[in-house]
Amino acid sequence: MTNKILLIDDDKELSEELTEVLQDEGYEVSRAYNGRDGEKMAVTSDYDVVLLDLKLPDVSGSEVLNNLKSIKPGCRVIIITGNPVFENNIEEAVSRDEAKKENVYKYADRIIKKPFDIEQLLSAVGELINR
């Protein structure tokens, strides 16, 4: 059975590159370029992992994450963000004042900063799928 990944990011070039890499690793990848479409896809289909950018053109990734976790609490989500405030370690991020303002970080399984090493992302995806 092929593992399914949903990538929600408005950066089309990055999305295409990530899709290619993930498909080369044997994953089935679906993409959404805005929060509303991504949330709808995540709720109506089953994905093993959701890769979610925080800055989206219509609704924030934080809102998508909150909604998704309230509907599908077991959904595994990796936040990919260019925000330098957050570390790769979720516990460190949650302990920061900035993260407390955005209470949603407690819902993420991982936070990965952009630009990221592709091996780091693949490792995080693999860990969550095999959990």
pTM attached to this predicted model: 0.85
Per-residue confidence (pLDDT) for residue 83, from 0 to 100: 66
Residue 114 lies in domain: 4-130
Per-residue confidence (pLDDT) for residue 114, from 0 to 100: 84
Is the confidence at residue 19, as pLDDT, over 90? yes
At 47-93, the pLDDT tens digits run 999 999 988 999 988 889 989 999 998 999 999 987 655 544 444 54
CATH number at 40 reads: 3.40.50.2300
Percent above pLDDT 70 for the chain: 82
Per-residue confidence (pLDDT) for residue 113, from 0 to 100: 85
Per-residue confidence (pLDDT) for residue 34, from 0 to 100: 97
For strand 28-32 and strand 4-8, is the pairing parallel, antiparallel, or unpaired? parallel
- 3-class DSSP string for the chain: CCCEEEEECCCHHHHHHHHHHHHHCCCEEEEECCHHHHHHHHHHCCCCEEEEECCCCCCCHHHHHHHHHHHCCCCCEEEEECCCCCCCCHHHHHHCHHHHHCHHHHHCCEEEECCCCHHHHHHHHHHHHHC
Per-residue confidence (pLDDT) for residue 81, from 0 to 100: 84
Number of domains in the chain: 1
| CA atoms of 70 and 11, how far apart (whole Å) | 26
Per-residue confidence (pLDDT) for residue 12, from 0 to 100: 95
Q: Across all residues in the chain, what is the average pLDDT?
A: 85
At 1-16, the pLDDT tens digits run 789 999 999 999 999 9
| CA atoms of 81 and 78, how far apart (whole Å) | 10
Per-residue confidence (pLDDT) for residue 111, from 0 to 100: 87
| CA atoms of 25 and 2, how far apart (whole Å) | 10
